[in-house]
Amino acid sequence: MADPLGELALIGRAAETKIIDRLLGDAFSGRSGVLVLTGEAGMGKSALLAYARARAEAVVVIVAARSVADTPFAGFPSR
């Protein structure tokens, strides 16, 4: 699969992108999964989410922000 973000987009994130790719591969095979991205501001969560969304193709990616974590049904499709 071609890298939709460019070859150098996520330098030093091989472990994280491998997990994302595995979860998406599982989803394409009919298995569900969850990935929670946490960390301080500026740690690259948005870049990893963009990577996941770009790779997801037809898989639904649900996004929720911590600011709505206490709100029931706060997740929403990101596409």
- Residue 52 is predicted with a pLDDT of 86
Q: Using one digit for the tens of pLDDT, what is the confidence trace for 9-53?
A: 688 899 999 999 999 899 888 888 888 888 888 888 888 888 888
Encoding tokens for residue 74? 């706060």
d(CA 10, CA 18): 12
Overall residue count recorded for the chain in this entry:
79
Residue 20: how many CB atoms within 10 A of its CB?
Answer: 21
pLDDT beyond 60 at 75: no
